[in-house]
Amino acid sequence: MAKVPVQFTLNGSEEAEFIDSGTTLLNALRDKIGDTSPKGGCHQGTCGACSVIIDGELRLSCLTLAETCSGAAITTLSGLSESGVLHPLQRAFLDTFATQCGFCTPGMIIAAKVLLDHTPNPSRDEVVEALSGNICRCTGYEPIIQAVLTAARANSQNAA
Amino acid sequence: MAIRRGRGVAAINYPTGMNLGGDPTQALVHSTPTGNFMVTLSSVDLGQGMKQIMAQICAETIGVPTDRVVVDTADTDTGPHCMGTFASRGTHRAGNAVIQAAKEARQVMLEVAAEELEVNASDLETDGQGNILVKGAPQKSISIFDVALSAHFKRGRSISGRGMFLIPRSYPEKETGAMKPSTCYAHACTVAEVEVDDETGEVTVLTVKNVFEIGRALNPKMVEQQLVGGSWMGISHALYETTEPYYPNRDNGGTDFNQYLMPGPGDLAETEIIVLERPSADGPYGAKGPGEMCANPQIPAVANAVFDAVGVRIDTLPITPERILRALKAQAAS
């Protein structure tokens, strides 16, 4: 079968690949481009581990065909730290012990980033709502909720 | 028809590891030429933080900062033998093996330092910061970096140690069946408060208050993390999770996350964790296994709370609305 060209911006860098038609963005990112930060938990859109940001919106990369992303700007967890300095959300996840096995963490942080991009000072309920598409086995969620609230506070203090 | 409130309590003791067939874990420790220490294990870090704990245990025993220790786990082709990470045994078994290996390595390290300083090895102590000092005369000292260089390039010594922790197999007494399946027990007690809708059978957990007795908490923040997650998982087991809702009939089992129910971030009960530290006699620096036991007491506590609320005993998990409604119906009929 003929390969399909796809070109998009990934974490600020241009990426161009030839992929099999029907390849999910998740598989293209992990297997073709080598960005393994989005995780394949369920491959059916129920766990949130593969979450990425496409043109500013939260998306499940396992339910997105790579060929529909041509021209898009895609952000994954790999793109959050800058010059080795952790993003405030990454810092907060570390500081509040919000990760154990770590498999859900990329999706959680991406979902939280989209929330904070739109709602810099979310209420607890808004955080819960934003994380409700992401499954975690280990933490019981409370440390993750606290991490997002901590990062939001840190952001607003920096902005002030 | 009404929302009814109930409160239940349950207490458990939970074995750390099991020795039904003998339960060994081995560890190897060696220094690099620059005085960092490598712990080699076949034990697996599942995300509970075993690598961090083993690094702490090795560092504490040898007398170096934790960041001077690298832990390599989970290659059974090349690592020393481990029975595995299960039965809450990782910290206890591997930790004891690491202490033994680290003690042997420390002894070699002190012997090399003694040769360099021209003193007796028994007169030396470590400062925990990467230096070896003469007791009572700390101005006479040598860095572990220099000791490792000397061992490797001058003295021809391997700063290394072997560790083996084995709880021997316990056989039942023929007459009574009595045996000793474990040497170390953690304990917990939970009080759960629930609301039960006696029209729909739905249970809402309002509060979960847990006390855990887990020996020495070698890393208190990681222990707390484990216990908070475990408490939530216990509630999840009590009310939601099963692969076979009509066991032994396999029908209607969840096959994906759409059907296999777990509470999400919007379903959290108010949770309280209290840790009691009573160091165990045979644990590494007094630790016990907190891994699995932390998700146990919530289950009978919720079952008791449901009984307190609506007067029916549910003895099959999970405690689903269907099971509660069937029990209420049977209760009304009798």
Sequence-distant (6+) residues with CB within 8 A of B260 are: B241, B243, B254
**Do the chains contact at A140 and B49, CB–CB below 8 Å?**
no
> Considering only alpha carbons, which residue of chain B is nearest residue A134?
B264
Chain CA centroid to CA A85, Å: 17
Please give the order of strands across the beta sheet that includes B137-143: B124-126, B131-134, B137-143
B160 Cβ partners below 8 Å, 6+ apart? B28, B29, B30, B31, B104, B105, B108
- Residue B160, in any domain of the structure: yes
**Separation CA B93–CA B98 (nearest Å):** 9
Reply yes or no on whether the pLDDT at A160 is more than 70.
no
Q: Do B228 and A132 touch (CB under 8 A)?
A: no
pLDDT > 70? residue A53: yes
What does the alpha-carbon distance between residue A96 and residue A99 come to, in Å, rounded to a whole number? Answer: 8
Ranges of each domain in chain A: 3-79, 88-159
Residues of A in contact with B268 (CB under 8 A): 140-142
User: Is B233 in the same domain as B324?
Assistant: yes
Residues A8-17, mean pLDDT to the nearest whole number: 96
Predicted-assembly ipTM surpassing the 0.95 threshold: no
Are A130 and A114 contacting, i.e. CB atoms less than 8 angstroms apart? yes
Report the alpha-carbon distance of residue B232 to residue B262 in Å, rounded.
Answer: 10
DSSP assignment of chain A: --EEEEEEEETTEEEEEEEETT-BHHHIIIIII----S--SSSSSSS-TTEEEETTEEEEGGGSBGGGGTT-EEE-GGGTSBTTBPPHHHHHHHHTT--SS-SSHHHHHHHHHHHHHH-SS--HHHHHHHHTT---SSS-SHHHHHHHHHHHHHHHHHH-
Asked whether residue B176 is domain-assigned, the answer is: no
Tell me: do B91 and B39 sit in the same domain.
yes
* SS3 state of residue B39: strand
Asked whether residue B136 falls in the same domain as residue B163, the answer is yes
pLDDT of residue A29: 98
Interface of B with A (CB under 8 A): 46-49, 221-222, 224-226, 228-233, 256-258, 262, 264-266, 268, 271
Assigned domain for B101 exists = yes
Indicate whether B276 and B163 sit together in one domain: no
Give the whole-number percent of chain A exceeding pLDDT 90.
92
Chain B nearest C-alpha distance from A13 (Å)? 32
Pick the CATH number of A88-159 from 2.60.120.620, 1.10.150.120, 1.20.1070.10, 3.30.70.1230: 1.10.150.120
- Is residue A147 less than 8 Å (CB to CB) from chain B? no
pLDDT at A1: 72
A114-145 tens-digit pLDDT? 999 999 999 999 999 999 999 999 999 999 99
pLDDT tens, per residue, chain B with 334 residues: 799 999 999 999 999 888 777 889 999 999 999 999 999 999 888 888 999 999 999 999 999 999 999 999 878 888 999 988 888 889 999 999 999 999 999 999 999 999 999 999 999 999 999 999 999 999 999 999 999 999 999 999 999 999 999 888 888 899 999 988 888 999 999 999 999 999 999 999 999 999 999 999 999 999 999 999 999 999 999 999 999 999 899 899 988 888 888 889 998 999 999 999 999 999 999 999 988 999 999 999 999 999 999 999 999 999 999 999 999 999 999 8
Q: Is B129 exposed, middle or buried (0-12, 13-18, 19+ CB in 10 A)?
A: exposed
Instruction: Report the length, in residues, of chain B.
Output: 334
How many structural domains comprise chain B?
2
Q: Number of residue pairs across A and B with CB atoms under 8 Å? A: 65
Do B189 and B326 share a domain, yes or no?
Answer: yes
On whether both B31 and B12 belong to a single domain, the answer is no
Structural domain boundaries enclosing B235: 3-16+184-333
Q: Are B12 and B30 contained in the same domain?
A: no
CATH domain A3-79 topology: Ubiquitin-like (UB roll) (3.10.20)
A59, β-bridge pairs:
A52
Asked whether residue B314 is domain-assigned, the answer is: yes
Residues B132 and B265 in one domain: no
Evaluate whether residue B76 is within a structural domain. Answer: yes
H/E element, B33: none
Chain A residue numbers touching B272 (CB-CB < 8 A): none
Q: How far, in Å, CA of B109 to CA of B146, rounded? A: 11
Q: Which residues of B3-13 are buried (b: 16+ CB within 10 A; e: fewer)?
A: eeebebebebe
Interchain CB distance below 8 Å, B264 and A140: no
- Among the partner-chain residues B49, B232, B266, the one whose CB lies closest to the CB of A140 is B232
Query: In this structure, is residue B303 part of a structural domain?
Result: yes
Chain B hits for A97, Cβ within 8 Å: 221-222, 224-225
Q: Which residues of B are catalytic?
A: 292
Does residue B234 sit within a domain? yes
Task: Give per-residue pLDDT as tens, A25-39.
Answer: 999 999 999 999 999
Residues B128 and B269 in one domain: no
Residue B7 and residue B68 in one domain: no
CA distance A6 to chain B (A): 31
Q: Do domains A3-79 and A88-159 have the same CATH topology?
A: no
φ, ψ (nearest 5 deg) of residue A45: 80, 20
Tell me, yes or no, whether B114 and B78 share the same domain: yes
Question: How would you classify the pairing of strands B160-167 and B137-143?
Answer: unpaired
pLDDT at B34: 93
Q: Cα torsion for B38, B40, B46, B51, to the nearest 10°?
A: -20
Residues B115 and B90 in one domain: yes
CB–CB contact B225 A145 (8 Å): no
Tell me which chain B residues have a C-beta less than 8 angstroms from the C-beta of A42. 256-257
String of b and e for A74-112 (b: at least 16 CB within 10 Å)?
Answer: bbbbbbbeeeeeebbbbbbbeebbbbbeebbbbbbbbbb
Domain boundary among the residues B135, B167, B199 is at B167
Q: How far is CA A142 from CA A96, B93, B162, B193, B263, in A?
A: 10, 30, 41, 19, 12
Please state whether A48 falls in left (phi above 0), alpha (psi between -120 and 50) or beta. Answer: left
- Which of B167, B192, B223 is at the close of a domain? B167
Q: Which residues of A touch B232 (CB under 8 A)?
A: 139-142
Token duo for residue A156:
């607003």
Q: What CATH number is attached to the domain comprising B130?
A: 3.30.365.10
**N-term to C-term CA, chain A:** 56
Whether A140 contacts chain B with CB within 8 A:
yes
